[in-house]
């Protein structure tokens, strides 16, 4: 929860910073075009402009170098502070008297009134003011904080860029045609019957298979199969049962077996096969993007192990075949640029936690 809140806060701060920066750049560009290129005396931003106080005639209210925000309206009252033009200069003083169309102004710090002016000379009324020095300090602090923030998050930014680049590379590598991905899973010491069976299943899977990139779900299933082979190589029945009962993918059985080519005859033939054949078929199912076939094979395997009280399913296979399947998964993963180290680390961690020494 705290991490999520920090991430949200970080996103809000980033957006706010970009918005403020964009506003400042846009305003600066607009001011430059208006005053330098179009030769206007002041800018007009949605009915407002600004001036910088250059004298101390209003020092009780405005200090030298204060910035005044002026509203470009045409309604003025006594005691309003206005900015007006006189002799090619812009003056910001307070109205002390209004007589018809004539306005008399005076600086709060002056002893005498100014010469009367007419309404056409008035630019507008001061609605807000602030210290230019304070503004510079605020901008400076924001810049310093931004620099510090950038340095503190440089490693995260770099990591994110590298991850995005890796994702792009992975996407390219994950578009692999089955004909170009040589997995030597049909070799080894298998009996002829097993070779023939897996070969026919492969033909079913190859029929009208989609050509697409390997999904995250398919990658998870590949890692799951790798975990199963490690469990079998270790000879641990408890590890294998735990892996089967806690798959890292979502099981889906909302389709009819016959509709996906998983007929009753195929299911019956598969049932008597050793566990290495199940693993091979599930690898081929991933290769041909037939996840529903993977799920169906996995369901039969779970059922077979569940009813096999003597665990013959886990014993009736050739060790060389299992090693061959394990190497095939490693080769598959390498071509897809998928790391299997996290699977190995997870199994090592479970063994440590389950050991009597712990």
How many residues in the chain? 358
Q: Could you tell me the pLDDT band of residue 254, with boundaries at 50, 70 and 90?
A: low
| Residue 313: per-residue pLDDT | 64
Interval 77-129: pLDDT, tens: 999 999 999 888 899 999 999 998 899 999 988 989 999 999 989 999 999 88
Residue 75 lies in a domain: yes
- Find residue 195's DSSP bridge partners: none
CATH assignment of the domain containing 124: 2.10.109.10
State yes or no: pLDDT of 215 exceeds 70.
yes
Higher pLDDT: 208 or 259? It is: 259
Interval 271-303: pLDDT, tens: 888 888 888 889 888 888 888 889 888 888 888
Residue 85 lies in a domain: yes
In 3-state terms the chain splits into helix, strand, coil percentages (rounded to 5) of 55, 15, 30
Q: Could you tell me the pLDDT band of residue 333, with boundaries at 50, 70 and 90?
A: confident
Residue 68 structural domain? 46-145
Average pLDDT, the chain: 77
Shared domain for 5 and 63, answered yes or no, is no
Q: Phi-psi region for residue 235, left (φ > 0), alpha (ψ -120 to 50) or beta?
A: left
Residue 292 lies in a domain: yes
Residue 35 lies in a domain: no
Give the span between the Cα atoms of 167 and 151, in whole angstroms.
Answer: 25
Interval 188-214: pLDDT, tens: 555 677 777 887 888 887 776 667 788
Shared domain for 20 and 78, answered yes or no, is no
Window from 44-53, 156-165, 185-194, 327-336 with minimum mean pLDDT: 156-165
| Residue 206: per-residue pLDDT | 76
Q: Could you tell me the pLDDT band of residue 73, with boundaries at 50, 70 and 90?
A: confident
| Residue 301: per-residue pLDDT | 86
Give the span between the Cα atoms of 96 and 116, in whole angstroms.
Answer: 10
Residue 69 lies in a domain: yes
- Number of domains the chain is built from: 3
Shared domain for 315 and 230, answered yes or no, is yes
State yes or no: pLDDT of 31 exceeds 50.
yes
H or E, element range at 271: helix 264-271
Give the span between the Cα atoms of 192 and 189, in whole angstroms.
Answer: 9
Give the span between the Cα atoms of 49 and 67, in whole angstroms.
Answer: 10
Cα-based angle 189, 193, 310 (whole degrees, multiple of 5): 80
Give the span between the Cα atoms of 311 and 309, in whole angstroms.
Answer: 6
Half-sphere exposure of 309 (CA within 13 A, CB side): 0
Residue 216 lies in a domain: yes
H or E, element range at 204: helix 192-206
Shared domain for 267 and 348, answered yes or no, is yes
Q: Phi-psi region for residue 128, left (φ > 0), alpha (ψ -120 to 50) or beta?
A: beta
Residue 39 lies in a domain: no
Interval 42-60: pLDDT, tens: 888 888 998 989 898 998 7
Shared domain for 78 and 6, answered yes or no, is no
Shared domain for 13 and 127, answered yes or no, is no
Residue 94 in contact with residue 58, Cβ under 8 Å?
yes
Residue 160 lies in a domain: no
Shared domain for 257 and 192, answered yes or no, is yes
Which CA distances in Å does 153 have to 14, 17, 113, 147? 12, 15, 58, 10
Shared domain for 331 and 182, answered yes or no, is yes
State yes or no: pLDDT of 268 exceeds 80.
yes
| Residue 106: per-residue pLDDT | 92
Question: 225, 236, 221, 216: which is closest to 350 by C-alpha?
Answer: 236
- Find residue 86's DSSP bridge partners: 89
Bridge-based pairing of strands 117-118 and 102-106 is: antiparallel
108: Cβ–Cβ under 8 A, 6 or more apart, which residues? 57, 58, 59, 60, 61, 93, 94
Shared domain for 261 and 185, answered yes or no, is yes
Shared domain for 64 and 114, answered yes or no, is yes
Residue 40 in contact with residue 101, Cβ under 8 Å?
no
Shared domain for 229 and 346, answered yes or no, is yes
| Residue 136: per-residue pLDDT | 77
Give the span between the Cα atoms of 158 and 160, in whole angstroms.
Answer: 5
Q: Report the pLDDT averaged over residues 247-251.
A: 78
Q: Could you tell me the pLDDT band of residue 2, with boundaries at 50, 70 and 90?
A: very low
Shared domain for 128 and 223, answered yes or no, is no
């Amino acid at each position: 929860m705290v991490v999520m809140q920090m991430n949200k806060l970080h996103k809000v701060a980033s957006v706010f910073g970009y918005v403020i920066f964009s506003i400042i750049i846009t305003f600066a560009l607009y001011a430059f075009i208006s005053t330098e290129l179009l030769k206007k005396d002041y800018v007009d931003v949605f009915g407002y402009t600004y001036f910088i106080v250059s004298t101390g005639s209003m020092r009780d209210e405005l200090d030298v170098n204060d910035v005044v925000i002026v509203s470009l309206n045409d309604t003025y009252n006594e005691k309003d502070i206005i900015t007006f033009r006189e002799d090619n200069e812009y003056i910001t003083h307070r109205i002390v008297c209004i007589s018809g169309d004539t306005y008399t102004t005076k600086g709060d710090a002056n002893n005498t009134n100014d010469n009367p002016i007419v309404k056409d000379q008035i630019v507008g009324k001061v609605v807000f003011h602030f210290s230019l020095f304070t503004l510079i300090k605020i901008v400076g602090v924001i810049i310093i904080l931004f620099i510090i923030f950038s340095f503190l998050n440089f490693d995260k930014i770099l990591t994110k860029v590298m991850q995005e680049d890796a994702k792009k590379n992975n996407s390219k590598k994950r578009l692999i045609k089955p004909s170009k991905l040589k997995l030597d899973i049909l070799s080894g010491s298998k009996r002829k019957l097993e070779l023939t069976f897996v070969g026919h299943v492969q033909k079913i899977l190859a029929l009208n298979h989609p050509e697409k990139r390997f999904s995250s779900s398919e990658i998870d299933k590949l890692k799951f199969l790798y975990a199963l082979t490690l469990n079998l190589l270790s000879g641990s029945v408890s590890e294998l049962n735990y892996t089967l009962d806690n798959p890292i993918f979502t099981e889906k059985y909302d389709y009819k077996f016959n509709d996906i080519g998983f007929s009753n005859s195929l299911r019956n033939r598969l049932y008597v096969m050793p566990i290495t054949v199940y693993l091979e078929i599930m690898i081929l199912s991933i290769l041909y993007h037939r996840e529903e076939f993977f799920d169906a094979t996995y369901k039969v395997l779970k059922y077979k192990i569940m009813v096999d009280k003597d665990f013959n399913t886990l014993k009736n296979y050739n060790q060389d075949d299992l090693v061959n399947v394990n190497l095939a998964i490693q080769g598959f993963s390498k071509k897809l640029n998928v790391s299997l180290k996290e699977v190995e680390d997870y199994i090592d961690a479970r063994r440590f936690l389950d050991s009597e020494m712990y």
